Chains A and B, each alone.
Chain A
Amino acid sequence: MISRENFPSLGIGVGLRRVHYGWVLENRPRIDWFEIISENFMAPGGRPLEVLEAVRENYPIAMHGVSMSIGSTDPLRREYLARLKETARRFEPAWISDHLCWTGVGGRNLHDLLPLPYTEEAVRHVARRVREVQDFLERPILLENVSSYMAYRISRMSEWEFLAAVAEEADCGILLDINNIFVSAFNHGFDAHAYIDGVPLGRVMQFHLAGHSEHGAYLLDTHDHPVRDEVWALYEYALRRFGRVAALVEWDDNIPDFPVLAETAERAREIEEKLLGERGVNDAVQAEGIAKPALPPDNRA
């Protein structure tokens, strides 16, 4: 069974984005780790791969995908998974994550993260596919909760019950996006704290923190603003429940200079230290331990 011992907290990281490549390589900022968008590094060559080689020399990374489409009714794309596995073999990420969603159907890609109906049947459908992916990649994956703007009449459980059920049945980890919980809670009128309370303790291996935009009747997960105070408050709430978990600041549009991201990461660190104390030697050693070597290929029992 998946265990948090195999997913040590990497500390507080930021998403590696193209506009910051030069700055990061030149300045080697004091950031614990970087998360990459997997698909941006799955091309066969070019500058992104060179940059990542150099970044990887100095930092742990995690690979975060947007196109696995784990909830689609299309067959899993073997070519995609093979490329993902090859990229992971080359860059040795601490873990691989993607989203609990579908991104296309009929061989077409919407390049968006669409929610699934929360039904027993959908749990079985997704869990079966997650197991297939984990077998293929020879490692467990994390699934992230998405922001959503629509809900299905046929849903028979809450989103967090669905997330928990998929994670349990597939034996995978959870990347809990705190901003997405806040956005979806607003859009669908549920209680964000109840969501956090409903997520199984032992499966959350990473948090996401990001900004969103307000559109009157709804919030949009745009990653183009600073993290809102309400989301920081939810982060505190999540830390109290889950303890020290790797956290990652995402910023994908109107991207500020790197020091602003670093300040945001620093704020996350201050909150974590305020609630849980400073990172201990063991944490540091654990994180250091996966700075280069890969995790065991398969952590499942």
Chain B
Amino acid sequence: MRSKLKELQSLLYRLITAPEGVAQGLERETALPAGGLGGIIAGDERLSALARVEIYANMYFYRILDALKEDFPATLAVIGADNFHNLITDYIAAHPPTHYSINEAGRSLAGFVREHPLGRAHPFLADLAALEWAVIESFHARDASALDADAMRQIAPERWPALRLATHPAVRLLALAHRVERVLAAVERNEEWSPPAREPSPTLVWRNRSMVFYRVLEAPEFEALDAAHSGATFAEICGRFAAAATAGDAASEINRNLSRWLGDGLLILGGA
């Protein structure tokens, strides 16, 4: 029985997810019983067996489409509803959901967009989708106690150089090639957006008091945070600023950035 039930569920899965529709999906099935789909699903004068399975096929697609519209509003705004519909049709055929949470359905979208004709038509689109996904990840990331200025002050200054830091679990660092944060900000404010410039755009996404923020960083700040992300010591993190500035500038840059990072809750204490 178990294998029979498995066969039944597998058949329905294939039909419901057939990219070109249930009827075309049925044509590929070679082992249907006499009566075809009608021998498995009961149809009646109101709704055929095919129409009944099609209800599930539509719900499958539109439920995921709606979830991804919510998670990628700027990607949607850039390419428009019809193109987004087609993109998601292709996407879920290539990356059908496997996770128990529909919130995970968009995890592979940015990478998929990079190779998709729509991504080639809009060279910044994959970066934009990557930023939107980082926002989602940051929103749901694990909580952790962020270091603040008071906590740092309680650590003896002589211990600072060897102090191992880490970024908060909700921090994401993206080495993007377009200023897509301007597009996302415009869409979030319901404003007109314009195609972003192509320029190195090291972008930080973080969460503070449940709200998610993002901003583009100067290269030294990105590198320093990236070092923290890898569990560097405070001295090593400072070294990233020192390499890019004169000695006096480096000290003030470190002070300025550290103060901002602590205020934004970007750092936690790292491992030993």
Contacts and interface: CB of A to CB of B under 8 A. Distances in A.
Contacts of B102: 39, 109, 111
Given A43-B140, A109-B98, A189-B44, A73 B5 contact: yes
B170 A150 contact: no
Interface in B24-66: 39-42, 44, 46-47, 49, 51-53, 55-56, 59-60, 63-64
B10 interface: yes
B262 to A, nearest CB: 20
Contact of B10 (A43, A106, A109): A106
A3 interface: no
B39 A153 contact: yes
A46 B207 CA distance: 8
B56 A111 contact: no
Which among B1, B8, B100 has the greatest number of chain A C-beta atoms within 10 A? B100
Contacts of A106: 10, 13
A17 to B, nearest CB: 13
Contact of A73 (B6, B16, B46, B139): B6
Contacts of B13: 104-106, 108, 110
B101 A39 contact: yes
Contacts of B44: 189
Contacts, number: 133
B46 A125 contact: no
A112 B60 contact: yes
A47 interface: yes
Interface in A75-122: 77, 80, 102, 104-112, 114, 116-117, 119, 121-122
A114 B12 contact: yes
B52 A150 contact: yes
A125 B8 CA distance: 14
Interface in B193-208: 207
Interface residues of B, number: 50
Given A42-B101, A153-B40, A111 B63 contact: yes
Contacts of B103: 39-40, 43
A165 B3 CA distance: 21
Contacts of A109: 96-100, 102
A149 B53 CA distance: 8
A80 B100 contact: yes
A150 B9 contact: no
Contact of B1 (A102, A104, A121): A121
B167 interface: no
Nearest to B51: A217
Given A45-B142, A77-B100, A111-B102, 5 more contacts: A40-B103, A46-B210, A109-B100, A149-B52, A154-B8
29 contacts: A39-B101, A44-B142, A44-B169, A45-B169, A46-B139, A46-B140, A46-B170, A46-B207, A72-B9, A73-B6, A73-B9, A77-B100, A102-B9, A105-B9, A107-B98, A109-B98, A110-B13, A110-B56, A111-B102, A112-B60, A114-B9, A149-B55, A150-B49, A150-B52, A150-B55, A151-B42, A152-B8, A154-B40, A218-B46
Interface of A: 39-40, 42-50, 67, 72-73, 77, 80, 102, 104-112, 114, 116-117, 119, 121-122, 124-125, 149-154, 187, 189, 217-218, 220
